[in-house]
Amino acid sequence: MLAGTVLALPGSAAHAADTLISQGRTVTSSSVENGGTPAAAAVDGNTGTRWSSAASDQQWLQVDLGASASISKVVLQWEAAYGKAYQIQTSADGATWTTVYSTTTGAGGTETLNVTGSGRYVRMNGITRGTGYGYSLWEFQVFGSTTGGGTGCGTANAAQGKAATSSSTENGGTAAGNAVDGNTGTRWASAAADPQWLQVDLGTEQQLCQVQLNWEAAYGKAYQIQTSNDGTNWSTVYSTTTGTGGNETLNVNGSGRYVRMYGTQRGTGYGYSLWEFAVHTGGTSVPPVQGGGDLGPNVLVFDPSTPNIQAKVDEVFTKQESNQFGTERYALLFKPGTYSNINAQIGFYTSIAGLGLNPDDTTFNGDVTVDAGWFNGNATQNFWRSAENLHLKPVSGTDRWAVSQAAPFRRMHVEGGLNLAPASYGWASGGYIADSKIDGQVGNYSQQQWYTRDSSIGGFSNGVWNQTFSGVQGAPAQGFPDPPYTTLDTTPISQEKPFLYLDGSDYKVFVPAKRTNARGVSWGNGAPQGASLPLNQFYVVKPGATAATINQALAQGLNLLFTPGVYHVDQTINITRPDTVVLGLGLATVIPDNGVTAIKVADVDGVKVSGLLLDAGTVNSPALLQVGEAGPGASHAADPIVIQDVFVRVGGVTAGKATNGMVINANNTVVDHTWIWRADHGAGVGWESNRSDYGFVVGGNDVLATGLFVEHFNKYDVWWKGNGGRTIFFQNEKAYDAPNQAAIQNGSTRGYAAYKVDDAVNTHEGWGLGSYCYFNVDPTIIMDHGFEVPVKAGVKLHDILVNSLGGNGQFAHVVNNTGAPTSGTSTTPSNVVSFP
């Protein structure tokens, strides 16, 4: 950071050959203040529209010039909210940046900066704001000349007069051909439904450089520009969820004979309507990201003939047994077949999985084991590991899986029993089983809480505070609070996690089908229901990959398969295509380095994100995962967005910061098993050091959470604002490190509830919900309640509890003013069976 070093002086004479080369180009930003201030507004040539960022420092606006350019001048037309200290930077790849101008005395207004530099990407990197608001630019103008070897973007409309087709027309006077006839008085209009498309056949394959959309009043808010050589298989070259209508000029890189506008969300209650759909050809081509390939250095693949399997598995375990905050990541994958005399001990950041289409395709005459010897028999820190898609025949008849949060046991068949406690029967703090068949008994023993979904078990023993079941054959009967069993006969909506498997010698990803009112496992009765996607439809992300490349792959229409590793990103990973699959192996970890949101999912159908750890960086992020935008959105009931085994961490590795952990704004989203954790131990831990106010924030309607673990946030751990929400199982601890009562005061209320349902919500329901306090800095702190909900007929909670761990702080009530207070040091829960 070259603060105070002036590399070029503003305000001197303009270069004679200056040409504006940024207008209408693709632009991204670290954040936006709201939907009315998108990044694109700063390069649209309209000084009445603007980009503005979130009200925090370390924000940026970046433009992609489409090709390498020689940069001679940058003009910043600031709104009132300006940058006092900022840099102008260039880059060839969107990852490595060179500073060509820097100041700590920016004055706002219009700043003309004569610079010398080159690159395809140019950004304003804001360091210190000049006001209490964010950074705000009416226009961000880059002047210079392109230096690439392309032929330039043609001015002729290659689509005019060509054959056009569409998904629908509003009526006989709004045919598809009207949008390519060169007449701005005629238009194409679609039916009033999503999705819709308009497609033009250019006649031959051509290199595209620009698409112009001249919208009638009925425009597309979310849409993609796609290309194809056969009219069947499409690649996305441009995508947005913030379309504004009017005249939109989109600079693109791609090729194809067919070009289409594929609309996924209308901007009005009418259909999509275009006066003209223009396509320009020529320019330079950016090599496309290739799908498929090998699985990278941290995936170990075994078959029954592999020599020394036990030694290799032990070697990984030795590295990972106590490596709680390290950077190593591993996936152990076993091809279909039978393996004998195996005891695979699973440590931190290690996933073990079979590569069959069904669990019984890969059989261990042996065990997959998690114990707690590394932590003196205490399993409460056995986090971040997983087992999937295997058939176990345990040597002793019972397998041991002594874990706590973020350690899913999915799609497993145990031909015997399953012990959830460490060998010493020391403490353990909750876990998750789904889509699994346990022939024998599940021994809960010392597990304080546990959630089991859509499975079959031979029985379940014991219970401490909160054991919850939904859709489980063989589950114990409802008994809360004594025994502490919450049992639902079915799970209302479930869709199992995608997984990698082998079809012959070819890797594919299987995406299981959605189930409603599910009970029992999804497999075992013939071929599983769902879809298989070949690996060449995935960008296989390996260590060293940049956010720019990841986003380019997504824009091309590829899915993502993250191999084990730690991925630092300097721009948000934007998922905008319906039904995109993002799958992580080996607890692949994404860290935003400069305060961006790590991953955003647009308000589109069917996106699946699973198997990732999102770790906060040292610059505050608005959120680590955001699904959908604030405000009314589309229904995804038929094809829900599903988030599974996506874990959020703020602190522990370093002093990370994020205002929110996970924000779910899209309707009908299913969040199936998450642990959202503001660290209570590790590096960078302190009330302000790893500040994060809210863990899980829901703005969408009809959102379902199954297996919701959220802990230690500075304010509300869960804040539910959408209607129709449902939670099956919730585990929480309030922040240990609150310095005193005043630090958590919420107006006249003592403490921020662990689970807050907003006063405006009319319908909400939850089952098997628990919150605990352990205020070890100030044990005199009192929480008025663990749960805070509006008292309305449509808001119902079942089987809820609060607990004081060893008397370190207390709860006065369970929910609102209902429920007995906790007291003393006996760690005895206070329970409410039903509220109201």
> Can you give the C-alpha Rg of the chain in angstroms?
28
Residue 700, token pair as written in the block: 């969408």
Bond into 307 cis (ω within 30): no
Non-local CB neighbours of 305 within 8 Å, separated by 6+ positions: none
Q: 301 with 266: CB under 8 angstroms?
A: no
CA dihedral 476, 479, 483, 487 (to 10 degrees): 50
Residue-wise over 401-437: b if at least 16 C-beta within 10 A, else e?
bbbbbbbbbbbbbbbbbbbbbbeeebbbbbbbbbbbb
Residue-wise over 783-798: b if at least 16 C-beta within 10 A, else e?
bbbbbbbeeeeebbbb
Q: Whole-angstrom Cα distance, residue 353 to residue 341?
A: 17
Q: Whole-angstrom Cα distance, residue 729 to residue 209?
A: 51
205 is catalytic: no
Q: Give, for 554, the enclosing helix (H) or strand (E).
A: helix 547-555
Q: Give, for 437, the enclosing helix (H) or strand (E).
A: strand 437-438
Q: 380 with 402: CB under 8 angstroms?
A: no
Residue-wise over 154-163: b if at least 16 C-beta within 10 A, else e?
beebbbbebe
Q: Whole-angstrom Cα distance, residue 628 to residue 221?
A: 13
Tell me how crowded residue 544 is: count the other CB atoms within 10 A of its CB: 11
Residue 566's beta-bridge partner residues?
589
Q: 50 with 79: CB under 8 angstroms?
A: yes
Q: 175 with 169: CB under 8 angstroms?
A: yes
Q: Whole-angstrom Cα distance, residue 595 to residue 31?
A: 9
Bond into 483 cis (ω within 30): yes
Name the amino acid, one letter, at 367.
Answer: D
Among 216, 276, 629, 733, the active-site one is 733
Q: How many helices (H) and strands (E) does the chain have?
A: 2, 62
Residue 203: what are its φ and ψ, rounded to 5°?
A: 95, -40
Residue 793, token pair as written in the block: 């007929």
What pairing do the DSSP bridges indicate for beta strands 431-434 and 409-410? parallel
Q: Whole-angstrom Cα distance, residue 715 to residue 746?
A: 9
User: Can you list the positions of beta strands (E) in 216-296?
Assistant: 220-228, 235-240, 247-266, 273-281
Catalytic machinery residues = 733
